[in-house]
Amino acid sequence: MNKSNKTQAMQDRITHCLWFSKEAEEAMNYYTSIFSPSKKKTVDYTNEGKVMSADIELMQAKFVTLNGNSMSTFNPSINFFVCCESKEELDQLYANLVKDGEVMMPLDSYDWSDYYVWLNDKYGVSWQLMKDDLKNVGQKITPLFFFSGKQRGKAKEAMDFYLSIFSESKSEGAMFYSKEEGLPETYVKHAQAKLLGHTFMFMDSGVENDFPFNESVSIMIHTKDQAETDYYWEKLLQNGGEEMMCGWLKDQYDVCWQVIPDGFREILTQADETKREKAMQAMMQMKKLDINQLNKI
């Protein structure tokens, strides 16, 4: 495998999951109409013919829109940084995303960018749009972990924790607040790292606010086998993480992850309805997913 193919394979192992109450189909259409390039990939339906989840690609970043969330609402704790290579590109995205949304930081010139805006769209999903050279980030859309409330001040600690866990990882630098800015020098203004070949960003809030991490946005890790599933599950639970159902967990910072073994979707969408329903029932009893057990059904 050459270097470019290897990088793409690594990036394909991360998906961003947006968990809606019932708007997964609407959101699928909304986002793929706004971002370019984009495409709808796979749509799964309930027995009643309603959309259960949809796999989409936005500017080559993988997303899932999922229905059934009754636990939490979207907030900026995990937001998405979009690198726009022209004012025209940013203006078009902003005009579409801001409709019925909320502006957190107005479109303007700032110390870090001459053209930048932070907003929440009509669902509450949070986006930072910045005019920048793509080579500075390496990808058009990047998940950004925003540490506030009880997690404020832990951005660098969390980044180092993830760097110790993920393969093909490396730090790409961190910028800290200064004493003159009235915040501890350990607080991160901006940090960037690669995990599984995919860029992630980290920030501590510069002001007092509280946007807790929750289930509405999670990061899906696609593992190649049960051994790798076991590895990421155990490592991410270190130091006080919490097991959840069906492959979900919360780490010590309350960030939600899904650890999904290859072949899992095929089992749950197989043509044999009896086997499919048995697999679904078995999966609903699991916390960590056991692909070997599901394959025996």
Go through the domains of the chain in sequence order and give each one's CATH number.
3-204 (3.10.180.10), 263-297 (no CATH)
From start to end of the chain, where are the E strands? Answer: 14-19, 38-45, 51-58, 61-66, 78-84, 102-110, 113-120, 126-131, 141-147, 170-176, 188-195, 198-204, 217-223, 242-243, 248-250, 256-261
Only one residue has tokens 């959101």, namely: 27
pLDDT tens per residue, the chain (297 residues)?
Answer: 344 344 344 448 999 999 999 999 999 999 999 999 999 999 988 778 888 899 999 999 999 999 998 889 999 999 999 999 999 999 999 999 999 999 999 999 999 999 999 999 999 999 999 999 999 889 999 999 999 999 999 999 999 999 999 988 999 999 999 999 999 999 999 999 999 999 999 999 999 999 999 999 999 999 999 999 999 999 999 999 999 999 999 999 999 999 999 988 777 777 777 877 887 788 888 899 999 888 787
Whose CA is closest to 106, among 91, 120, 116? 116
Residues 288 and 15: their CA atoms lie apart, in Å, by 18
DSSP, collapsed to helix, strand or coil, labels residue 83 as strand
Residues 227 and 265: their CA atoms lie apart, in Å, by 18
Parallel, antiparallel, or unpaired: how do β-strands 51-58 and 61-66 relate? antiparallel
> Cβ distance 205 to 75 under 8 Å?
no
pTM to 2 decimals? 0.93
119, β-bridge pairs: 103, 127
- 247 φψ region: left (φ > 0), alpha (ψ -120 to 50), beta (else): left
DSSP, collapsed to helix, strand or coil, labels residue 166 as coil
Residues 226 and 163: their CA atoms lie apart, in Å, by 21
DSSP, collapsed to helix, strand or coil, labels residue 142 as strand
Whose CA is closest to 83, among 140, 35, 143? 140
